[in-house]
Chain A
């Protein structure tokens, strides 16, 4: 008889299912805020939807007439499967942003409903064996203890040690254990017919989740999580590159082919340094060319200037510009720059585009990835800078991101020497970006660069910059004594010494 079972075992049951229920809710909330940003909104939406689904479950429990114990066990098995696989499946859904919300809230409603069914059914099972007053007090006490346990364990132990995927799988297994255990604990209430099937299914679900738990390391995103230190919240393979976004606390990071492109924590330093020296030195910059920089962050800085009439953004990969437009945290970070009517996005190889197009620009911002391969190295060649010259007004200035002058000094100066050999007047400058260290840039112009004119800078420099003001913008050009010019051949299309220098230097220092 059931009343022979020790009472603490029953309360342990309550504790476990309560913990599981809250863990699933926390997982959904965390994933939503990773991917969709704005954690306050995401968490309150997930909690609200989850609680109302609990209500749906509780309400539905009244329609369970007979076989209450069996239904309870069936629900445990279902919850084990749905809840346990929720995080891995939502990770997979990341690749398709539009489907993610549907998958997210679908699973929250489903899990909430199943969890909502659990306690009413359990209480109905126990009501014949306990005093009602006692029952309500005990069950709800253990329910709330479980919730406390989950909310403490989740951030302190589970996410750091197991990660989201394994946490989800582990609690799925616990749910299945409760189901299996129930077949013994509640044996007197169960019809012996179908008992083997219940136990079989419990074992099957436990097996599936256990295999997934062991194999979680081979899950691509999981591996990337380990490599990239921070949890992966988005990943996709475009025809051109692997795009991964990771997130820690409030900040997220974009990686292309495993190379960190920016961290939302300090990208403003990089992008302000990249853009404002050009915009304050070019003669009336109205039509601006941005090469690379499909993340839209350089464009965001350009659009701070009210005189700007057009921005042409040329980026090879439509997946990146798509992400910058529709991936909420990034669109928010670039202030929806790519949706601005002044911005035209061109998804072409800049090398091919620059020799085909014939428009002329007042300023250009060159924000290509580092020259780690020949297909990028060509974009730092005398030929490319020569072709770009034809797209520029004589009075135009350009800025070029030039990798780290400390880690890769030969590469840095090779890019500057290449600009000089292509007929530009060049000024080196640098900025400190905590994520990258000291980062190098070049300011260049087809005609001799005028020295910094503080009045013009003061007049033009937008308000509310986080990093630069009139004084600091000038100090970027004062190079410290450990960054000194190095002689090199220019990087030519037929002899890309830059790619070899870069490989050499970053394999040593990177």
Chain B
């Protein structure tokens, strides 16, 4: 058991609460001790947990409805599948979503005229090879043309506005590498690391495939690359002589940012993938970033607007297939009634850990999803009445605090071009326990007061004057936020088997790639839709 880790984070929290000067936090707010308001939020897990614990919905009162395809889950993968089907004139599609709004971890919110993400919030500009995603972006008028070399041109308003990112150590430094106080050796190692990543990005296998590509399905399957999945990123860095504390912090930050894992926990394959998959390999900088005030919620909203068969607040209770098709039983949590859907094909676009619980006859399928672990995350939206004072420079889109447990924050109004006055900051923190179940226990145990204190204390490290500016903090707890590419997962047989259809059931979801990326979710959604149409 991981109680050592648990008590550590508990202790850390208590130290924080004790260490924070209470002056700024004392007030007469709704929550007593803190001077501002807020809510503690969760995705709708109540129905899910009831089903897990053996609850059975009442029998349906109506006969089942028939459809060509039923999609379970309206996250990015499920919505992408529905979009792909509609493109191919398959209109008789129902998408069942547990939550009362679509999006999964690309959920977004709005309040007081602000829009902000609750999870995924950007997409690097897809490379020319990612034809399907580019066609979606063209449809959304995000990609507005091609340059002479055929590379996509993204409408300026969707590319992350300069200044993009900064990191706080003692002062703010532009970019993510904390250059203030860095030694020559730190800088040399950072440069050598950059060159090595560029080299990984430039390499092609005998069939001309990239070593690291998005979607991953387009990348090489050669052993030399896949063997990187047998060691941790920390080990790989040590072996390559990367011992600079600052460089290791940057790579650790990157792994926590994309995977919710430390470099000790991340597979070296995934660690290198983070950098190399975003480089063209010609020595130029990483692919520019596409973002919106509400993050990837913009894509969700677009796809949802194209999905007439979307039904939210529908908890799928069971999936059963026979020779005639697939029967899905769902409980409409809004109307409180049970409905049966019969489909020719089913696309299972919910996280894989739910498959054994929902698909009848799972034990006979001879597959397992035990190796797939999902990390817990906290995302807070911090409403400010004004910006904190800046000595030098200005708030960027991405603002990272070095040596913090958090990932810092993104500024939701940045993309609107607004540099003054009220704003909403979206603060991210993955929980890093070796056993994600410990993280989930911790996540559910902490109160709003605890989280609000943690958030404000963290922000105060970089913005000592932020206290009186905070108007509201809402905290989202994601129990199963992201698939974690720990050592061995990406190349595991379990994962490649999970991608295979099971009779009339086709699987989609970013977890099938072993990393949580919008592009991977989208890819699997499109692939599963293609499979379902072929069948």
Give chain A's interface residues, CB within 8 Å of chain B: 239-240, 316, 349, 351-352, 355, 373-375, 377-378, 381-384, 386, 492-496, 499
B143 to A: closest C-beta gap in Å:
14
List, sorted by A's number, 18 A–B pairs whose CB atoms are closer than 8 Å.
A239-B420, A349-B418, A349-B419, A352-B417, A375-B420, A378-B417, A382-B156, A383-B417, A492-B156, A493-B159, A493-B161, A493-B162, A494-B159, A494-B160, A494-B162, A494-B164, A495-B162, A496-B162
Interface residues on B, range: 10 to 19
A493 touches B156 (CB 8 A): yes
CB under 8 Å from chain A, chain B span 263-313: 288
Among candidates A240, A492, A494, residue contacting B420 with C-beta atoms closer than 8 Å: A240
Q: A349-B420, A378-B162 are in contact. List 4 more A-B contacts (CB 8 A).
A: A240-B420, A494-B160, A494-B288, A496-B162
Is B416 interfacial (CB 8 A cutoff)?
yes
Main secondary structure of the interface of B (DSSP, over half): loop
Is B163 interfacial (CB 8 A cutoff)?
yes
CB under 8 Å from chain A, chain B span 411-434: 416-420
Question: B160 — which chain A residues lie within 8 A by C-beta?
Answer: 494
Question: B110 — which chain A residues lie within 8 A by C-beta?
Answer: none
Instruction: Write the chain B residue with the least CB distance to A490.
Output: B156
B99 to A: closest C-beta gap in Å:
32
Q: A316 vs B419: C-alpha distance in the bound complex, in angstroms? A: 11
Q: Given contacts A373-B394, A494-B288, are A378 and B420 in contact (CB under 8 A)?
A: no
B161 touches A386 (CB 8 A): no
A383 touches B156 (CB 8 A): yes
A351 touches B394 (CB 8 A): no
Question: A377 — which chain B residues lie within 8 A by C-beta?
Answer: 162
Instruction: Write the chain A residue with the least CB distance to B396.
Output: A374
Instruction: Write the chain A residue with the least CB distance to B158.
Output: A494
Instruction: Write the chain A residue with the least CB distance to B397.
Output: A494
Among candidates B161, B288, B386, residue contacting A378 with C-beta atoms closer than 8 Å: B161
Question: A499 — which chain B residues lie within 8 A by C-beta?
Answer: 162
B419 touches A494 (CB 8 A): no
B435 to A: closest C-beta gap in Å:
41
Question: A386 — which chain B residues lie within 8 A by C-beta?
Answer: 156
A349 touches B159 (CB 8 A): no
Instruction: Write the chain A residue with the least CB distance to B288.
Output: A494
Question: B161 — which chain A residues lie within 8 A by C-beta?
Answer: 378, 493-494
Q: A349 vs B414: C-alpha distance in the bound complex, in angstroms? A: 13
Q: Which 5 A-B pairs have the closest CB atoms?
A: A494-B159, A351-B417, A496-B162, A375-B419, A383-B156
Is B183 interfacial (CB 8 A cutoff)?
no
Is B157 interfacial (CB 8 A cutoff)?
yes
Question: A494 — which chain B residues lie within 8 A by C-beta?
Answer: 156, 159-162, 164, 288
B156 touches A381 (CB 8 A): yes
Question: B420 — which chain A residues lie within 8 A by C-beta?
Answer: 239-240, 316, 349, 375
Question: A378 — which chain B residues lie within 8 A by C-beta?
Answer: 161-162, 417, 419
Give chain B's interface residues, CB within 8 Å of chain A: 156-157, 159-164, 288, 386, 394, 416-420
Question: A384 — which chain B residues lie within 8 A by C-beta?
Answer: 417
Q: Given contacts A349-B418, A349-B419, A349-B420, are A383 and B157 in contact (CB under 8 A)?
A: yes
Q: A383 vs B154: C-alpha distance in the bound complex, in angstroms? A: 12
Q: Given contacts A383-B157, A386-B156, A493-B156, are A374 and B416 in contact (CB under 8 A)?
A: no
Question: A240 — which chain B residues lie within 8 A by C-beta?
Answer: 420
Instruction: Write the chain B residue with the least CB distance to A377.
Output: B162
Q: Given contacts A374-B162, A377-B162, A494-B162, are A352 and B418 in contact (CB under 8 A)?
A: yes
Q: A177 vs B420: C-alpha distance in the bound complex, in angstroms? A: 53
Instruction: Write the chain B residue with the least CB distance to A492.
Output: B156
A116 to B: closest C-beta gap in Å:
49
A374 touches B163 (CB 8 A): yes
Question: B163 — which chain A residues lie within 8 A by C-beta?
Answer: 374, 496
Q: Which of A239, A240, A352, A384 has the most CB of B within 10 A?
A: A352
A473 to B: closest C-beta gap in Å:
34
Instruction: Write the chain B residue with the least CB distance to A494.
Output: B159
Question: B156 — which chain A residues lie within 8 A by C-beta?
Answer: 381-383, 386, 492-494
A375 touches B157 (CB 8 A): no
Instruction: Write the chain A residue with the least CB distance to B154.
Output: A494
Q: Which of A375, A382, A494, A499 has the most CB of B within 10 A?
A: A494
Instruction: Write the chain B residue with the least CB distance to A383.
Output: B156
Q: Which of A316, A386, A495 has the most CB of B within 10 A?
A: A495
A375 touches B394 (CB 8 A): yes
Question: A373 — which chain B residues lie within 8 A by C-beta?
Answer: 394
Q: Given contacts A383-B157, A493-B157, are A349 and B162 in contact (CB under 8 A)?
A: no
Q: A428 vs B157: C-alpha distance in the bound complex, in angstroms? A: 27
Question: A382 — which chain B residues lie within 8 A by C-beta?
Answer: 156
Q: A294 vs B163: C-alpha distance in the bound complex, in angstroms? A: 26
Instruction: Write the chain A residue with the least CB distance to B156.
Output: A383
Instruction: Write the chain B residue with the least CB distance to A375.
Output: B419
Question: A496 — which chain B residues lie within 8 A by C-beta?
Answer: 162-163
A257 to B: closest C-beta gap in Å:
12
Q: A239 vs B164: C-alpha distance in the bound complex, in angstroms? A: 23
Question: B288 — which chain A residues lie within 8 A by C-beta?
Answer: 494-495
Question: A492 — which chain B residues lie within 8 A by C-beta?
Answer: 156, 159
Q: A383 vs B157: C-alpha distance in the bound complex, in angstroms? A: 7
B529 to A: closest C-beta gap in Å:
32
Q: A352 vs B421: C-alpha distance in the bound complex, in angstroms? A: 12
A419 to B: closest C-beta gap in Å:
15
Question: A374 — which chain B residues lie within 8 A by C-beta?
Answer: 162-163, 394, 419
Question: B416 — which chain A residues lie within 8 A by C-beta?
Answer: 352
B290 to A: closest C-beta gap in Å:
10
Instruction: Write the chain A residue with the least CB distance to B387.
Output: A239
Question: A381 — which chain B residues lie within 8 A by C-beta?
Answer: 156
Question: B162 — which chain A residues lie within 8 A by C-beta?
Answer: 374, 377-378, 493-496, 499
Q: A374 vs B420: C-alpha distance in the bound complex, in angstroms? A: 13
Q: A383 vs B159: C-alpha distance in the bound complex, in angstroms? A: 11
Q: A377 vs B419: C-alpha distance in the bound complex, in angstroms? A: 12
B155 to A: closest C-beta gap in Å:
9
Q: A213 vs B307: C-alpha distance in the bound complex, in angstroms? A: 76
Q: A374 vs B396: C-alpha distance in the bound complex, in angstroms? A: 10
Q: A386 vs B416: C-alpha distance in the bound complex, in angstroms? A: 15
Instruction: Write the chain A residue with the least CB distance to B290.
Output: A494
Q: A349 vs B418: C-alpha distance in the bound complex, in angstroms? A: 7
Q: A425 vs B249: C-alpha distance in the bound complex, in angstroms? A: 49
